[in-house]
Every structure is written in structure tokens, then in C-alpha cells.
């Protein structure tokens, strides 16, 4: 895999500055020039010692390829269409982008590959989990090693992240301005892949709607690298939970982290296998593992909360969903009395407005990020969400959602490793 940093700016001068500002390890720079009123090819060439790909996406090139190559630019991007002419295939990235769907991707990939260009790039827009599988299949059947596939958008993250683990040649990431739907930043890509993605024989994923914000790929891929196991962890952002169940039962992916809004559905699904005590008591599953056809399920959110709980006299749990129930199990195990506060009173001990009168020393907020709720002063405040705006809180100790995510990932990783232990 080669990491290509895409620079998308309004002027050539801004692009040069952006290229010079790239500090993390990368292999190529793609300069998107369609917005430039004018272009100084020599200034772009002088901005980096890395190879440069010049692209005019959805706009005609204002310079001839001969001028581009004479200035020392390494590659040009040519958008594929029937009858397209390629002047210098050895210095061309032939590409196709379908921003609406997956129309004729197999035939288009075959036609592009036949041109013999330096790189063949196909980017399409999956709408369902099966679309991602279809896109990844192009890598297995690709006639050359220089093929790149990219799933665009929220629903395409599964294949976008997984493709480099399956041999996709180029990974396009953003310097600052995201140039395509679902594109990763360079920093996030390095967290996920490390210095180089290992070949993945086993696939794991976080399942949610939405799930693009998830930091789990960085956490679990690092743990897999440290163990030296041939595994990859990606994001499955899906509309319905049943989109992924057949694939899970086939064993790819073989391990799932479950997040909002699918934890209750995962609990019902898990009845076909062995369900752990934490999941049974919380009536929610956040981890599913398929070990040679044997299904294991549990709720490691309970373990995460247990690792973070302080000594406390009385706790308030804000919210009454699956995450709240996991917190209640951990609190019960720790012997800490708790009261639930929620907008829907039928699911709670008290209405949300009554939280202002809470005088205990521990508050656990399981509501979604950005939910407006007044949190009274407390000794320890734990917030489960880690994306969006955090609630303003006065607390002696404040524990954020990322800390909870990392804490629950410890046991979740242990459950995932059953795949390699075969138990």
C-alpha cells in the first residue's frame, strides 16, 4: 500500500503551502488542481521530494500532459470513459468515480485494467453491506497488482478501510480538506494502518448507524499489530442489522463490536449462540464472535465501566438505553446504589429534570453526544459519548468516552482473540 495525501485547495499557492505542511509519513501527493485559476507546475514540484499525482477531477486539464511531465510531475489522473485515450500509460492513474452507486463496476474495472496504466483506481458508492463485499471482490479478481478500490461515503467505510489490508495499491487520504465522501485524514489512516497494513486473513468491524466517527479501528488494529496476528478491523455503517448477519455467520467479518442503535437487536440475534452473563443482565450485546461456526456474545461495556468506577456512595445514571443498562450492571457488581434519570419516565426511576436535585457523588451520562442536559456538581462524572459537544460539568474527576472505549476494548480484544486460539 502507498499512502497518497490529497491536497485540495482553491489556489496553487495554497496547495504549495499545504504540501509543505505535511509532516506525517506518506508516499505520494495528489494535487487536485480543478479549482486553481492558474498553476505553477514547477512550484508544485519544488514543494516536495515525494512523487506527485496531478488531478483535475470533473474539470478539463488546463495543461498538456507533456508540460506536466516536463515539469517533473510523476503521474496524471485520467478519468475513464469509453474510448478514452491514454498518452503515457506508464505515468497515468486511470480512474473511475461513481458518486451515486455501483453501476457496472466489474466491467469498468476490467476495461480500465486492459489499458495497462501505472495504476487503476475505481471508487464507487456502496449503499448496503453487500455492495462493500462486491467492491472488495474486485481486488480478488483484479488482473494486476496496481489496482485500487475505494468505497465512498458513510456506507462505504467498510471497504475503504479494509481494501489496503486486501492488497489495494493506493490509499487516498486528506491533508486538511477532505476531497471525497468518507475520506480519512492522514493522521487517522496512520492510526489504523501503522507504518504498513499487514495482510488480513480475519476481519473484524464495528457495526452502527452511523459509525464513521468510531475510534475503534485505531484501537483494535494497534492491538492486532502488537500481537502479530493477521487481522484487520474496519467500520460497518449500515442501515439495518440484518445486512451483516449472513456475512457474520459465514465468518467474514468474524468479530463485531456493536454500537448504537443495534445492541438490543444483537442481543436477540445472539440467542443462537452462547451469551455471557454481562449481556444477559444488561439485555444488550456489544460483542459478537464467530469461532469456527460457534457464536459467542457478551457486553464488554460492563467491563469498561467496572474498570473506571470510583468508590461512591450513590450514583446517577442518565439515560435508560443499552449503555445505561451496562453501567447499572457494573454499579450493582460494585455495590453502588444507583438511580436512573431519563426523558422517558416509564424507563427511569426519575424524570430527567429531577437530576438537578441529585446529591450523590457519581454521575454516568449515557445520552448521545450533544444532548442538552444540566449536570449538577459531582465528585466523578463519566460520559459515555466521545463525539460531539460534551456537556458543561463541574466535577472533581471527569472521565470521557474515549477512556471508556479503551477500557471496554481490553476484554473485547480478548474475546476477539478466541478466533486465533480456536476456543
pLDDT at 389: 58
Q: Angle 216-227/401-416 helices, nearest 10 degrees?
A: 40
DSSP letters for 299-368:
-THHHHHHHH----S-EEEE--SHHHHHHHHHHHHHT--EEEEESSGGGSSEEGGGGGG---SEEEE-SP
pLDDT in tens, 321-356: 999 999 999 999 999 999 999 989 888 899 999 999
Domains 2-194 and 307-400 share a fold: no
Q: What is the mean pLDDT of residues 44-58?
A: 96
Name the pLDDT band for 284 (thresholds 50, 70, 90).
very high
What top-level class would CATH report for the domain 2-194?
A: alpha beta
Q: What is the mean pLDDT of residues 380-394?
A: 82
Q: Which residues are catalytic?
A: 263
Q: What is the mean pLDDT of residues 112-141?
A: 96
pLDDT at 423: 58
Rg (C-alpha) for the chain, rounded Å, is 24
pLDDT in tens, 73-124: 999 999 999 999 999 999 999 999 999 999 999 999 999 999 999 999 999 9
Q: Is a pLDDT exceeding 90 seen at residue 175? A: no
User: In the structure grid, which three cell numbers stand for residue 58, read together?
Assistant: 470533473
Find, among 212, 264, 265, 261, the residue nearest to 236 by Cα: 212
Name the pLDDT band for 203 (thresholds 50, 70, 90).
very high
Convert 315-338 to b/e letters by CB count within 10 Å (16 or more is b): bbbbbbbbbbbbbbbbbeeeebeb
pLDDT at 372: 77
pTM over 0.85: yes
pLDDT at 371: 79
| Domain boundary assignment for the chain | 2-194, 307-400
Query: Do residues 161 and 192 make contact, with C-beta atoms less than 8 angstroms apart?
Result: yes
What top-level class would CATH report for the domain 307-400?
A: alpha beta
Strand pairing category for 395-399 and 338-342: unpaired
Query: Do residues 229 and 251 make contact, with C-beta atoms less than 8 angstroms apart?
Result: no
Find, among 329, 250, 339, the residue nearest to 285 by Cα: 329
pLDDT at 348: 84
**Portion of the chain with pLDDT greater than 90, in percent:** 87
pLDDT at 45: 98
CA–CA separation, 367 and 382 (whole Å): 11
Amino acid at each position: 500500500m502507498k499512502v497518497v495525501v490529497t491536497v485540495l485547495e482553491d489556489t496553487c499557492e495554497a496547495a504549495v503551502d499545504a504540501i509543505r505542511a505535511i509532516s506525517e509519513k506518506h508516499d505520494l501527493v495528489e494535487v487536485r488542481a480543478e479549482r486553481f485559476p492558474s498553476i505553477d507546475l514547477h512550484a508544485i514540484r519544488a514543494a516536495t521530494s515525494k512523487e506527485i499525482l496531478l488531478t483535475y477531477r470533473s474539470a478539463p486539464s488546463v495543461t498538456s500532459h507533456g508540460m506536466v511531465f516536463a515539469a517533473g510531475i510523476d503521474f496524471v489522473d485520467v478519468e475513464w470513459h469509453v474510448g478514452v485515450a491514454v498518452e503515457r500509460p506508464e505515468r497515468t492513474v486511470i480512474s473511475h468515480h461513481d458518486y451515486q452507486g455501483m453501476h457496472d463496476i466489474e466491467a469498468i474495472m476490467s476495461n480500465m485494467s486492459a489499458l495497462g496504466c501505472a495504476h487503476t483506481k475505481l471508487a464507487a458508492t456502496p449503499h448496503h453491506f453487500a455492495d462493500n463485499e462486491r467492491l472488495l471482490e474486485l481486488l480478488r479478481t483484479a488482473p494486476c497488482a496496481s489496482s485500487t478500490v475505494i468505497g465512498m461515503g458513510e456506507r462505504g467505510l467498510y471497504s475503504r478501510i479494509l481494501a489496503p489490508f486486501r492488497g489495494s495499491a493506493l490509499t487516498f487520504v486528506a491533508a486538511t480538506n477532505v476531497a471525497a465522501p468518507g475520506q480519512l485524514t492522514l493522521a487517522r489512516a496512520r492510526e489504523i494502518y501503522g507504518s504498513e497494513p499487514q495482510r488480513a486473513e480475519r476481519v473484524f468491524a464495528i457495526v452502527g448507524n452511523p459509525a464513521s466517527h468510531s475510534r475503534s479501528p485505531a484501537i483494535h488494529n494497534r492491538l492486532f499489530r502488537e500481537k502479530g496476528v493477521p487481522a484487520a478491523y474496519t467500520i460497518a455503517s449500515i442501515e439495518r442489522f440484518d445486512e451483516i448477519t449472513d456475512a457474520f455467520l459465514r465468518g467474514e467479518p468474524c468479530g463485531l463490536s456493536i454500537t448504537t442503535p443495534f445492541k438490543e437487536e444483537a442481543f436477540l440475534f445472539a440467542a443462537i449462540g452462547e451469551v455471557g452473563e454481562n449481556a444477559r443482565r444488561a439485555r444488550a450485546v456489544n460483542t459478537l464472535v464467530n469461532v469456527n461456526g460457534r457464536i459467542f456474545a457478551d457486553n464488554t461495556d460492563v467491563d469498561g465501566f467496572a474498570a473506571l468506577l470510583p468508590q461512591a456512595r450513590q450514583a446517577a445514571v442518565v439515560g435508560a438505553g443499552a449503555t445505561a443498562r451496562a453501567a447499572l450492571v457494573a454499579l450493582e457488581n460494585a455495590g453502588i446504589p444507583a438511580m436512573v434519570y431519563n426523558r422517558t419516565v416509564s424507563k427511569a426511576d426519575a424524570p430527567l429534570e429531577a437530576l438537578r436535585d441529585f446529591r450523590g457523588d457519581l454521575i454516568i451520562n449515557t445520552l448521545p453526544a450533544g444532548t442538552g442536559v444540566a449536570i449538577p456538581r459531582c465528585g466523578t462524572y463519566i460520559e459515555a459519548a466521545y463525539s460531539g459537544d460534551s456537556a458543561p460539568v463541574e466535577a472533581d474527576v471527569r472521565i470521557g468516552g474515549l477512556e471508556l472505549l479503551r477500557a471496554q476494548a481490553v476484554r473485547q480484544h480478548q474475546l476477539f482473540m478466541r478466533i486465533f486460539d480456536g476456543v
